[in-house]
């Protein structure tokens, strides 16, 4: 345990000293800095921000449907000079010339009533008619009119939209936060791709240097007859392998660097050096806590309610679009005609309009019933699907919490194995120089040391991947003990 503690403290010290530094033409970055750059500068983050803005304006459009609407329409002028067909009392046809202007203006407002699906409307109108042949001008107007239209036995889309659209908007806000956490998770993956490539390159260069030194010592031993030609050939082969490994590691490092730059938006020409992240975080995680926060924060949890509401809406629409469809319209106001505009507004006459329209299907061959039954079946299916998704949702969280705990344990073990393998290799190298170890055993120590280092970096990757995955699944920062805000 002392070795593990010393090893971890050295890594943390190295991380703190190198974080956010530029050494010459090399940019040194920590894991959190790479993640933050991805969140702010990557194409994925810009796409997520654009999607969030689009959803915001869609919601604003929805909200505007429930606000009073004011409009002005008309035809000005409406000049007409032509001949029209006029049927005479005896059945013959004559063509009579007309030459007039029939202009009008209408200022109206309307207000939807979501609870009933109806709408209140008001209007004021003015019409002017000019007969140029008879040199006559006449005005007609509605100084004021107020009415109400109420659908009867029809689907109330306003009511359902008022229930569903806020869910969609809240879902989009949480989806944006999820997108940011997904970006963090992907950025951590690119970070460890490059970190492992850099570690492999460092291992390859170190192995090449060690192999060259050992070969030099072996040649001296061969000259005095202490080792065989076969060992020299074996070491020469190891040297060739080490040179090849350096080339492959350099290629992989360049590819990983390019991928990290492309994803995080790092466009400067500096070389990138990654600091090894810490092996622990100050947080306590339980499955119950993560599930609670996930149901409170995730867009999926909001989508569960939204999907059921949409299926219920479809049932209501299927029922409302069948059977008796009717609409009642009533309007009260004033109207009058006159030869001048002031006369239109002097002692106007009452205007009353009452209208009931209806449609009754007499024979539809079961189409109405089929639509309703289909919608009801879809609602039942949606209930089953949501229930299944909830189970998967909770199980995924429980599994991820278990993996996170396992990754913490694995990280301790791999750190210890890395420390032991490094120490074993140093001892093996010294024994070989003294002539107390075979080249085969030295080669095995080489391989064990390299694999232990790679295993430790892989364990770090799994640990931090599980960490960011937990943040994504819960949208909760367990280190700060607070919800993640967009």
d(CA 123, CA 72): 10
pTM for the structure as a whole: 0.80
pLDDT at position 30: 92
Q: Which helix (H) or strand (E) is 90 found in, with range? A: none
Chain segment 28-44, per-residue pLDDT in tens: 999 999 999 999 999 99
The pLDDT value given to residue 432: 67
The 10s digit of each residue's pLDDT in 131-141 is: 998 889 999 99
- Which one, of 416, 339, 403, lies nearest residue 130 by Cα? 339
Residue 111's pLDDT band, with cuts at 50, 70 and 90, is: very high
The whole-chain average pLDDT of the chain stands at 86
Task: Categorize the per-residue pLDDT at 285 as very low, low, confident or very high, splitting at 50, 70 and 90.
Answer: confident
Greater confidence, 364 or 342? 342
Task: Domain 2-61+162-308+378-483: give its CATH superfamily.
Answer: Outer membrane efflux proteins (OEP) (1.20.1600.10)
Handedness of CA 235, 237, 240, 244 (dihedral sign): negative
Categorize the per-residue pLDDT at 269 as very low, low, confident or very high, splitting at 50, 70 and 90: low
Q: What is the mean pLDDT of residues 294-313?
A: 93
Spatial distance between the Cα atoms of 294 and 296, rounded to a whole number of angstroms: 5
Q: How far is CA 190 from CA 35, 187, 203, 259, 443, in A?
A: 10, 5, 20, 7, 31
Query: What per-residue confidence (pLDDT) applies to 4?
Result: 34
Task: Name the band, by pLDDT with cuts 50, 70 and 90, for residue 24.
Answer: low
Span 164-193, mean pLDDT? 94
pLDDT tens per residue, range 378-426: 999 999 999 999 999 999 999 999 988 888 888 888 888 888 888 887 8
Q: Is the pLDDT of residue 260 over 90?
A: yes
**Contacts for 281 with CB less than 8 Å, ≥ 6 apart:** 467, 479
At 426-453, the pLDDT tens digits run 887 777 677 677 666 776 777 788 888 8
Asked whether residue 255 carries a pLDDT value surpassing 80, the answer given is: yes
Mean local confidence (pLDDT), 140-169? 92
Given 3-state DSSP classes, what are the helix, strand and coil percentages for the chain, each rounded to the nearest 5?
60, 20, 20
Q: What's the pLDDT score for residue 439?
A: 64
CA distance 159 to 474: 32
- The answer on pLDDT for 483 being more than 80 is yes
Start-end of CATH 1.20.1600.10 domains in the chain = 2-61+162-308+378-483
Question: For the chain, first and last CA: distance in Å?
Answer: 41
């Amino acid at each position: 345990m002392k070795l593990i503690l010393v090893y971890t403290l050295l890594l943390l010290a190295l991380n703190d000293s190198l974080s956010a530094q530029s050494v010459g033409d090399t940019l040194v970055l920590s894991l959190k800095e790479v993640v933050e750059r991805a969140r702010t500068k990557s194409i994925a983050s810009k796409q997520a921000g654009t999607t969030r803005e689009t959803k915001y304006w869609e919601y604003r459009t929805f909200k505007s449907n429930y606000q009073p609407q004011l409009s002005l329409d008309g035809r000005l002028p409406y000049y007409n000079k032509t001949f029209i067909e006029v049927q005479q009392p005896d059945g013959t046809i004559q063509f009579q010339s007309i030459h007039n202007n029939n202009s009008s203006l209408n200022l109206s407002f309307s207000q939807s009533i979501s609870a009933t699906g109806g709408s209140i409307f008001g209007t004021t109108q003015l019409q002017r008619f000019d007969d140029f042949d008879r040199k006559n001008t006449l005005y007609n107007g509605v100084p004021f009119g107020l009415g109400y239209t109420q659908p009867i036995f029809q689907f109330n889309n306003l009511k359902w939209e008022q229930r569903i659209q806020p869910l969609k908007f809240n879902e989009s806000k949480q989806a944006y936060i999820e997108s940011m956490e997904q970006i963090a998770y992907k950025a951590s993956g690119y970070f460890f791709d490059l970190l492992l490539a850099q570690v492999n390159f460092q291992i390859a260069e170190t192995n090449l240097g060690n192999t060259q030194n050992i070969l030099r010592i072996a040649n001296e031993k061969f000259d005095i007859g202490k080792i065989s030609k076969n060992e020299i050939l074996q070491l020469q082969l190891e040297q060739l392998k080490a040179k090849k490994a350096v080339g492959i590691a350099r290629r992989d490092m360049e590819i990983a660097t390019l991928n990290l730059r492309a994803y995080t938006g790092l466009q400067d020409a500096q070389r990138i050096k990654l600091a090894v992240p810490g092996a622990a975080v100050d947080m306590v995680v339980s499955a119950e806590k993560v599930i609670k926060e996930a149901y409170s924060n995730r867009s999926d949890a909001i989508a569960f309610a939204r999907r059921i509401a949409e299926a219920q809406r479809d049932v209501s629409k299927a029922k409302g679009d069948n059977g008796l469809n009717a609409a009642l319209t009533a309007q009260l106001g004033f109207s009058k005609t006159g030869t001048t505009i002031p006369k239109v507004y002097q002692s106007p006459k009452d205007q009353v309009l009452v209208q009931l329209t209806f449609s009754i299907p007499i024979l539809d061959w079961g189409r109405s019933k089929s639509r309703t039954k289909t919608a009801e079946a879809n609602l039942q299916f949606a209930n089953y699907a949501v229930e299944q998704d909830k189970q998967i949702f909770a199980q995924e969280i429980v599994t991820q919490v278990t993996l996170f705990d396992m990754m913490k344990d694995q990280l301790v073990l791999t750190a210890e194995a890395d420390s032991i393998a490094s120490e074993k290799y140093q001892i093996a190298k010294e024994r070989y120089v003294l002539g107390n170890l075979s080249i085969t055993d030295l080669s095995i120590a080489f391989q064990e040391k390299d694999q232990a280092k790679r295993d430790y970096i892989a364990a770090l990757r799994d640990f931090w991947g599980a960490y960011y995955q937990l943040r994504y699944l819960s949208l909760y920062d367990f280190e700060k003990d607070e919800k993640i805000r967009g």
